[in-house]
Amino acid sequence: MYDSTCGAAASGQCGKSQREGDGPPTREPPPVPLERDYSGFDIVKATQYGAFSRVKELVEAGWDVNQPDHETVTLLHWAAINNRREIIEYLLSKGAAVDAVGGELQSTPLHWATRQGHLEATVLLVRAGADPTLRDAEGCASLHLAAQFGHTAVVAYLVARGVNPDAPDAGGMTPLMWAAWKVCSVDPARLLLTLGASTNPVDNSHGNTALHWAILARNTTAISTLILYGNANLDIPNLRGATPLAMLQAGADTLWVGSKVSDRVKEHALLSTRRSVFRRLTYDKKFRWWCVVGLPFIAFYVTGLVLDMDAVYLLKAFLLVCFYALLHFLSNALFDDELKNIFPLSVYLATKVWFYITWVVFIAPVVSGAATVGFFLFSVALWYTFLRSWRSDPGVITGTKPDKFRTIIELSESTRGGFDPARFCSACLVRRPLRSKHCSVCNRCVAKFDHHCPWVGNCIGAKNHRYFIGFLVCLLIMCAWMVWGGAQYVRQQCAAGSPAGGEAREEVAGGALRAALAALRCNAWLTWVMLNALFHLFWVTVLTSCQLYLVVCLGMTTNEQLNRARYRHFQARGGRSPFTRGPLNNCADFFECRLCGLLAPRRTDWAAAGLPDDALDALDAPDAPDAPDADTAPMLRAHHFV
């Protein structure tokens, strides 16, 4: 502790020097902090202020560590509420009663520690044998207090140590109910749900579930968490006969709960009552899923038909505007956020199917058989890499409930940062490996996370990144092949079959716009397909170039490139990737190719627990080994990056 008078004098001198302009500031070291004199403190005050030497002096002089003060509070209570680790350990070693009851609420030291959210004190007391199921005068156990005050880390530790997440207090209130009633953040409600807490129990006084309490508190975050994450039952009535569904409908005008919750409530209300067939279909999950899959196929076909009509362009444009306005209305009425996430995948599938049909109907008759066979044989590689990117595991990090509990206990009792977000995912309850990230779309942690790709409907990570690169390359070649085939058709059929073939050739030579109009007059459907192929060719070329540049030249993922300022191992190297080994070695590591023994790829299990700092430094060294040997690999996997 710094002496106040010394600090004031120092600040006054600094201000005077700046006002008078006495030259550059001095580089004298700051004054040495003066140690406070605790010799006059009694043992209670010394415990509260963390004066360990004074506490030890008085105990060694004969003070009884279990002697309560005039408020019936013991020294262990005061040490716990102030999170005095050293004093807690000392008092316990001297025989302090870990479950001593004191204070107005007849609480134990563990009650005091959990109410304040002191994880360190909670760990020490639980390991010393404190009973977390004991209730205070208000009927609350330690878990209820931690949930009431939003102490997520303490909640996690107590449940991992065996406390029932659905244990009721004296009034029947569960920790989830207290969190829904008192806490306006996502956790600890989400954490309790992940740890197995049920949304169905009701309290003794009102018959309310956790969702009832969240609605009564107008806690929109808890409402969303319970409905979307916990699938809370909307039809359980309380003692007054009110269900959460009725309460949400009654407060719909004044309680903003977001589009996802509103859709879920409307869907449940419509499916549980007799309404029109159309209204019921709009909230039928299977029907809406088929709509999101089928609409791109229909939209592509109808657009081609309109363009192929024998009508003026102004009428065609009007019809297309009306058609896409109708599609916009239907998409807003039928699609929720989850379905909108798979819509790009449906667009991709529809586009490729119509590519194949167009090739067979129009292009195959005007090109060689070898070109058609090659087009479809190459499509096999495209579909293989697409399916592996779409359906394969990107490197999802999972764990059983015992594994999650073990991780929580290890991090809680660790001295290296506890539940640091860089080391622990509070949504998945797993240890975060190096280069991993929690995907908000899929709600899961992915090893060596690159990005979530809507075009394949999956995360791109450690286990499918190579297939994704292969998919992009195959798609690039296929689109170029499709453009070439369309150009062959236009060159042969439009010029030869048109009475004004020479004029058409002049128009093509006159500019890209006139060429497109000439092709549109010749075969509007094929022109529409070629425009789609050209558009795909453009964005796939850009995406492929960016992906290869990041992987080969920089040795980093898309997520790392966008967020490298947030990662310490990039900051320590000036934003440069510690994983790069030069273009050739990066390419060998990524594709696991040896090039006839000229390259030595380094294989790393990115889904493992991570790498310690010294191994990370070794990755950045120019003479780093290609891979850990059999003896060191288990050691590397057993550690985590901080």
Residues designated as active site: 453
What is the DSSP-derived secondary structure letter of residue 417?
A: -
Angle between helices 465-489 and 369-391 (to 10 degrees): 150
Backbone conformation region of residue 19, classed left if phi is above 0, alpha if psi is from -120 to 50, else beta: alpha
In the structure encoding, which two tokens stand for residue 301, read together? 């076909």
Q: Which two tokens stand for residue 255?
A: 């309680």
Cα dihedral sign for 577, 581, 583, 587?
negative
Q: Cα–Cα distance between 381 and 388 in angstroms, integer?
A: 11
474 contacts: CB under 8 Å, gap ≥ 6: 378, 381, 382, 385, 386
User: Would you call 102 helix, strand, or coil by DSSP?
Assistant: strand
Q: State the Cα–Cα distance between residues 347 and 615, nearest whole angstrom.
A: 44
Termini Cα distance of the chain: 30
CA distance 31 to 3: 10
* Amino acid letter for position 21: G
Sign of the dihedral through C-alpha 62, 66, 69, 73: positive
Identity at 511, one-letter amino acid code: G
Helices marked H in 272-398: 277-281, 285-307, 313-334, 337-358, 369-391
Cis peptide before 188 (omega within 30 of 0): yes
The one-letter amino acid code at 539 reads W
Please report, for residues 2, 3, 8, the alpha-carbon distance to residue 12 in angstroms, rounded to integers and kept in the order given: 16, 14, 6
Residue for token pair 């006839």? 596
CB count in 10 Å sphere of residue 55: 29
Helix (DSSP H) and strand (DSSP E) numbers for the chain: 31, 6
